[in-house]
Amino acid sequence: MDHQEHRNIVDVAVIGGGLAGLAAAASLGRAGLRVRCCERAASFGGRGRTLITETEAGRFAMNLGAHALYLSGRARPILEDLGVACVGGTPQVESAYLADGRSHRLPATPGALIASTALDLRGKLGLMRVFAGLSRVDPATLAGMSAEDWIAARAGGATCHRMLRSLFTLTSYSARLDTLDARAAVRSLQLALQGVRYIDGGWQALVEGTLQAARAHGVELRPNCGVRRLTRDPEGGWIVEAGDERWRARQVILALGPGPARRLLAEAEVRTGSIPADARAVHAACLELGLRGPWTKPAFALRSEPATYLSVHSHTAQDMAPKGCCALSVVVYLGREALDADAVRARAESMVDALEPSWRERVLARRFMPRMVVAHALPAPGVEVGTGLAEPEPAPGLHLVGDWVRRPEEAPGDPALLLDSALASAMTAVEGVRRTLSRAPSARARLVGNEPGAGVGVAI
Ligand SMILES: Cc1cc2nc3c(=O)[nH]c(=O)nc-3n(C[C@H](O)[C@H](O)[C@H](O)COP(=O)(O)OP(=O)(O)OC[C@H]3O[C@@H](n4cnc5c(N)ncnc54)[C@H](O)[C@@H]3O)c2cc1C
């Protein structure tokens, strides 16, 4: 094998350098495999990136929409196992609930619930009953129900119903609760009540930590490397093409959205029937604001209609805003309604108006993203969890990763959402690759003995 050929063979090509692709690449690099991770964009991180805006007052860190890490979810131990520090704070701030055209306190304790003006007496008693039993609900028993059905069966009165809808939408990002599996909705609310963390400096800290792990384990990181073609290698494995380069990979992980994955798989003549359609995606509009001066109003707020969220992340996480300034995120949960970008922006801004009418005079930084894909497919009611999702290994040596991919090991009562599902799927692919390559003598040697990343060329 000449030098050129040696360079052009890897054990695993990871295509897509979001958090899931990076976590898979770092784990496989740590296992001793020779891994190349290709990202189409100039920087890694995908939807986990944080963009920095420099202003006269200093720098604002803005996530691509509000992001919180579920402390008891699947993602955190996976990241921490790779040495990624998930440092930040748990929001414990004054909260508001906007309903009936006014601002109420969002009740966080039984005492606050009794005093709350957001619910009538029937609603308060209903909500108390729901929360008293919530941690004991086994989501597995809710098969066949939608989140909306569950609320209708449990909620005592209209104000309790309204509050539960807001909370389910907050934790799942879905404004279409009739299409969300009750098991996933209840599980995500249970997880949220166990605590979330806003990450210091934004989710970029998670991206940087995962990148660092990948580098430390010898992963070859290729930004600006959009893979345009994938074909089966007649000698076994896969041929990957990006720009004017081609190389061979014994195994491939596609850690992309379903759209780009579908195109690559079609060319590779891999059956794509089970890839969820775009219609199953959950979208949100996100307004990120950097304001001069402190935020003196409730730093967390939910609005019942239209479903909207506001949170001042700089109150909880460090390094989000310059000293004396504040950084806040507004999310408008998008449902079935067809709205243009201006209408959605107006909705987002009206949420800030409701709390702080003079905010426009204080704007130092602003970013509006009218339609972000938060999740490619949330579990749907009435079918087994995982139905309608893509198979994790649709062809030998080809692994799919993302929240749109079935995770065979997932218990029906513990469905993961958002980053938890993307990273759980990444770990399924890692296991699949390791299982297969441990049967190939040349790669097995590296898996069991060699220094991580000290890969030698292997004939496929
Ligand atoms: C507004 C918003 C709020 C969210 N809030 C939360 C939250 O609070 N908690 C939570 O857990 N999750 C949240 N999420 C979800 C979380 O961001 C995602 O689950 C996670 O970032 C997905 O990572 P990924 O690697 O699977 O996908 P992505 O981040 O989408 O990465 C895919 C990567 O593939 C690259 N790519 C595409 N095509 C190619 C190609 N041909 N060749 C090479 N590379 C390619 C893309 O450029 C991209 O970088 C939120 C998402 C959004 C949008």
* Domains of the chain, start order: 3-46+205-277+385-448 (3.50.50.60), 54-69+88-201+282-375 (3.90.660.10)
- The residue length of the chain stands at 460
CA of 19 to the centre of ligand 1 (A): 7
Q: Which of 15, 85, 78, 88 is nearest to 46 (CA)?
A: 15
**C-beta of residue 182 within 8 angstroms of C-beta of residue 383:** no
Q: Which helix (H) or strand (E) holds 288?
A: strand 282-291
More confident residue, 381 or 307: 307
Ranges of H-type helices in 194-308? 204-216, 258-267
Angle at 350 (CA atoms; ends 185, 322), nearest 5 degrees = 90
- ipTM rounded to 2 decimals: 0.99
Which ligand 1 atom lies nearest to the CA of residue 226? 42
Per-residue pLDDT tens for 208-220?
999 999 999 999 9
Asked whether the predicted pLDDT for residue 385 surpasses 70, the reply is: no
- Spatial distance between the Cα atoms of 207 and 357, rounded to a whole number of angstroms: 35
Indicate whether residue 374 lines ligand 1 (CB < 6 A). Answer: yes
The overall average pLDDT reported for the chain is: 91
Per-residue pLDDT tens for 188-236?
999 999 999 999 999 999 999 999 999 999 999 999 999 999 999 998 9
Asked whether the predicted pLDDT for residue 448 surpasses 70, the reply is: no
Query: What does the pLDDT average to over 86-106?
Result: 93
> Which of 256, 283, 369, 400 to mutate for ligand 1's pocket (most ligand atoms within 8 Å of CB)?
256
Per-residue pLDDT tens for 121-178?
999 999 999 999 999 999 999 999 999 999 999 888 999 999 999 999 999 999 999 9
Which ligand 1 atom lies nearest to the CA of residue 369? 1
Indicate whether residue 433 lines ligand 1 (CB < 6 A). Answer: no
Q: Which helix (H) or strand (E) holds 191?
A: helix 182-193
In this structure, which residue's CA is closest to atom 37 in ligand 1? 256
Q: Which of 275, 355, 291 is nearest to 324 (CA)?
A: 291
Kindly give, in sequence order, each residue whose CB lies less than 8 Å from that of residue 55, ignoring residues fewer than 6 positions away. Answer: 290, 322, 364, 365
More confident residue, 114 or 310: 310
Which ligand 1 atom lies nearest to the CA of residue 372? 53
CA of 421 to the centre of ligand 1 (A): 11
- Spatial distance between the Cα atoms of 375 and 28, rounded to a whole number of angstroms: 25
pLDDT bucket at 278, cuts 50 / 70 / 90: low
Q: Are strands 282-291 and 245-254 parallel, antiparallel or unpaired?
A: unpaired
Residue with tokens 């590779």: 268
Backbone torsions φ then ψ of 144, nearest 5 degrees: 90, -15
- Spatial distance between the Cα atoms of 258 and 320, rounded to a whole number of angstroms: 32
Query: What does the pLDDT average to over 312-321?
Result: 97
DSSP class of residue 313?
G
Indicate whether residue 16 lines ligand 1 (CB < 6 A). Answer: yes
> Which of 62, 63, 67 to mutate for ligand 1's pocket (most ligand atoms within 8 Å of CB)?
67
In this structure, which residue's CA is closest to atom 7 in ligand 1? 67
Asked whether the predicted pLDDT for residue 381 surpasses 80, the reply is: yes
In this structure, which residue's CA is closest to atom 1 in ligand 1? 65
Which ligand 1 atom lies nearest to the CA of residue 225? 43
CA of 214 to the centre of ligand 1 (A): 18
CA of 141 to the centre of ligand 1 (A): 31
pLDDT value at residue 451: 41
pLDDT bucket at 443, cuts 50 / 70 / 90: confident
More confident residue, 379 or 432: 432
CB-count burial class (<10 Å; 0-12, 13-18, 19+) for 199: buried
How far are the Cα atoms of 44, 61, 424, 428 from residue 24, in angstroms, in the given order? 14, 26, 10, 9
Angle at 160 (CA atoms; ends 156, 161), nearest 5 degrees = 90
Indicate whether residue 25 lines ligand 1 (CB < 6 A). Answer: no
pLDDT value at residue 383: 72
Kindly give, in sequence order, each residue whose CB lies less than 8 Å from that of residue 263, ignoring residues fewer than 6 positions away. Answer: none
pLDDT value at residue 401: 97
Residue with tokens 């993307």: 422
In this structure, which residue's CA is closest to atom 25 in ligand 1? 18
Indicate whether residue 370 lines ligand 1 (CB < 6 A). Answer: no
Indicate whether residue 40 lines ligand 1 (CB < 6 A). Answer: yes
Indicate whether residue 71 lines ligand 1 (CB < 6 A). Answer: no
Q: Which of 271, 276, 277 is nearest to 393 (CA)?
A: 271
**C-beta of residue 228 within 8 angstroms of C-beta of residue 260:** no
CA of 422 to the centre of ligand 1 (A): 8
Kindly give, in sequence order, each residue whose CB lies less than 8 Å from that of residue 4, ignoring residues fewer than 6 positions away. Answer: none
Which range is least confidently modeled, 108-117, 125-134, 187-196, 286-295?
108-117
pLDDT bucket at 87, cuts 50 / 70 / 90: very high
Asked whether the predicted pLDDT for residue 111 surpasses 70, the reply is: yes
Query: What does the pLDDT average to over 72-90?
Result: 97
Asked whether the predicted pLDDT for residue 62 surpasses 90, the reply is: yes
Angle at 241 (CA atoms; ends 396, 253), nearest 5 degrees = 35
